[in-house]
């Protein structure tokens, strides 16, 4: 690695523009793969600036495509940039960037949903969780169909401190469909408040930093795009297993317009539903007539803590699924009807 004085003056060697690279390698966006490219380097620079100070940082870019954000990251005096791209068509263009930034860009042809970034960077970067975040950053503009499952996967990794979080409280700057970005950052009582708001905010400081109009992308997507920054919290606001929090939150929001007791009731088998829901709400000190979007994170914490105690008392409770029960009842009913039909024949 070069000395940091040199890094701070680093500039990419002259290169064709992203538009020229797209032409040169015939990189038409695959619409069915939701490939929308950012060609405006002022915008890609802005995304990278908002990611924080990247001097000497190790950066993992997900889905670099033709390399607009990649260039801005390389210009930010990073120590190393690792990019993971699924579509082989982009590799030669990225290779060109790598040649212009010798020793800085590592290109992997792979899938970000399975790539093991925990093995990719030097061990020496690891910081205790309670310390300041490590000098490791994740940045990316992925298709929306990938960014939402990926953030859910990474939130779970964050709760277990594995995957990208073996290095410590790794910060992430990622794009989402604007509505999803708003949901991720929505505060108590707002109409965008949803399952994603709670799952993200109990684990991270979430900031919807800015919105990029759809017209800035080529080709233009139907929607605008939100850039969201995540910094993992030292102390999660709910200290229960991710799957337990997810179950409580999912149940509450499945009836988002009803009082919260309706969704919470579905955590319990029908025979005990009324009594157990009452007990849960009373012990958690939560008003049953609040709507899901009105529940604060401390209220979710109380609900999760009490539900955990109830699961510890009844070992079958956590495995109970209202949807499974419904499915089973339907299939029993069908079997009964089929039997009756065959008796009649
Ligand atoms: N980051 C580039 C930009 O801003 O111009 C490209 C954005 S385009 C919306 C998304 C990119 O992610 C495409 O290059 C696509 O091939 C890549 N991609 C999609 N799914 C991926 C996956 N599972 N793993 C790695 N790359 C993926």
Looking only at the bridges linking them, the beta strands covering 204-212 and 80-85 are unpaired
112 lines ligand 1 (CB under 6 A): yes
Q: What is the pLDDT of residue 327?
A: 81
Which of 8-17, 143-152, 198-207, 303-312 has the weakest average pLDDT?
8-17
CA distances from 239 to 181, 198, 222 (A): 24, 13, 39
Which is the closest atom of ligand 1 to the Cα of 217? 5
Asked if residue 182 has pLDDT above 90, the reply is: yes
Read off the pLDDT of residues 47-74 as tens digits, 9 standing for 90 and up.
Answer: 999 999 999 999 999 999 999 999 999 9
DSSP 58: E
Q: What is the pLDDT of residue 20?
A: 80
Ligand 1: centre distance to CA 67 (Å)? 10
Q: What is the pLDDT of residue 32?
A: 58
- Residue 7 binned pLDDT confidence (cut-offs 50, 70, 90): very low
Is there a contact between 227 and 50 (Cβ–Cβ < 8 Å)? yes
Distance CA 298, CA 32 (A): 41
72 lines ligand 1 (CB under 6 A): no
Q: What is the pLDDT of residue 33?
A: 62
Q: What is the pLDDT of residue 6?
A: 44
Ligand 1: centre distance to CA 344 (Å)? 59
DSSP 270: G
Q: What is the DSSP string of 294-331?
A: G--HHHHHHHHHHHHHHHHH-TTTTT--HHHHHHHHHH
Residue 294, Cβ density class (10 Å: 0-12 exposed, 13-18 middle, ≥19 buried): middle
CA-nearest residue for atom 13, ligand 1, is 65
Distance CA 187, CA 93 (A): 41
Percent of the chain surpassing pLDDT 70: 94
- Residue 343 binned pLDDT confidence (cut-offs 50, 70, 90): confident
Read off the pLDDT of residues 78-132 as tens digits, 9 standing for 90 and up.
Answer: 999 999 999 999 999 999 999 999 999 999 999 999 999 999 999 999 999 999 9
Which of 235-239, 326-330, 340-344 has the weakest average pLDDT?
340-344
Q: What is the DSSP string of 134-190?
A: PSEEEEE---HHHHHHHHHHHHHHHHHT-GGGGGSS-EEEEEEEHHHHHHHHPPTT-
- Average of pLDDT values for 183-188? 98
Ligand 1: centre distance to CA 163 (Å)? 20
Asked if residue 5 has pLDDT above 50, the reply is: no
> Whole-number mean pLDDT of the chain?
92
Which is the closest atom of ligand 1 to the Cα of 87? 16
State the sign of the Cα–Cα–Cα–Cα dihedral 282, 184, 135, 108: positive
Number of H helices, E strands in the chain: 13, 9
Is there a contact between 188 and 294 (Cβ–Cβ < 8 Å)? yes
How big is the chain, counted in residues?
Answer: 345
Read off the pLDDT of residues 191-238 as tens digits, 9 standing for 90 and up.
Answer: 999 999 999 999 999 999 999 999 999 888 889 999 999 999 999 999
Percent of the chain surpassing pLDDT 90: 80
DSSP 242: H
- Average of pLDDT values for 285-307? 98
Q: Can you name the residues that pair with 259 across neighbouring β-strands? A: none
Quickly count: other Cβ atoms within 10 Å of residue 237's Cβ.
16
């Amino acid at each position: 690695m070069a000395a940091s004085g040199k890094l701070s003056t680093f500039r990419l060697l002259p290169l064709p523009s992203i538009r020229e690279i797209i032409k040169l390698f015939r990189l038409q966006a695959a619409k069915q793969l939701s490939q929308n490219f950012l060609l405006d380097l002022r915008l890609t620079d802005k995304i990278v600036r908002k990611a924080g100070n990247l001097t000497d940082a190790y950066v993992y870019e997900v889905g670099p495509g033709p390399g607009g954000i990649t260039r801005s990251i390389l210009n930010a005096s990073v120590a190393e940039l690792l990019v993971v791209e699924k579509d082989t068509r982009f590799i030669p263009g990225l290779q060109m960037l790598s040649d212009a930034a010798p020793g800085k860009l590592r290109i992997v042809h792979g899938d970000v949903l399975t790539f093991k970034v925990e093995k990719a960077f030097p061990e020496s970067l690891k910081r205790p969780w309670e310390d300041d975040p490590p000098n490791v950053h994740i940045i990316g503009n992925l298709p929306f169909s990938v960014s939402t499952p990926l953030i859910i996967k990474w939130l779970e990794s964050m709760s277990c401190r594995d995957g990208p979080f073996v290095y410590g409280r790794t910060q992430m700057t990622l794009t989402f469909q604007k509505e999803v970005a708003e949901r991720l950052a929505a505060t108590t009582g707002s109409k965008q408040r949803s399952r994603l708001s709670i799952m993200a905010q109990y684990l991270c400081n979430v900031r919807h930093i800015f919105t990029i109009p759809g017209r800035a992308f080529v080709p233009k997507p139907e929607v605008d795009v939100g850039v969201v920054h995540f910094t993992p919290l030292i102390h999660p606001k709910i200290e229960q297993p991710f799957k337990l929090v997810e179950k409580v939150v999912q149940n509450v929001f499945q009836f988002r317009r009803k009082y919260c007791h309706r969704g919470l009731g579905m955590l319990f088998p029908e025979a005990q539903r009324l009594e157990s829901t009452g007990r849960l709400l009373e012990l958690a000190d939560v008003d049953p007539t609040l709507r899901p979007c009105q529940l604060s994170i401390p209220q979710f914490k109380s609900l999760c803590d009490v539900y955990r105690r109830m699961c510890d008392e009844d070992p079958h409770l956590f495995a109970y699924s209202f949807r499974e029960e419904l499915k089973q009842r339907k299939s029993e009913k069908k079997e009964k009807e089929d039997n009756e039909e065959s008796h009649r024949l």
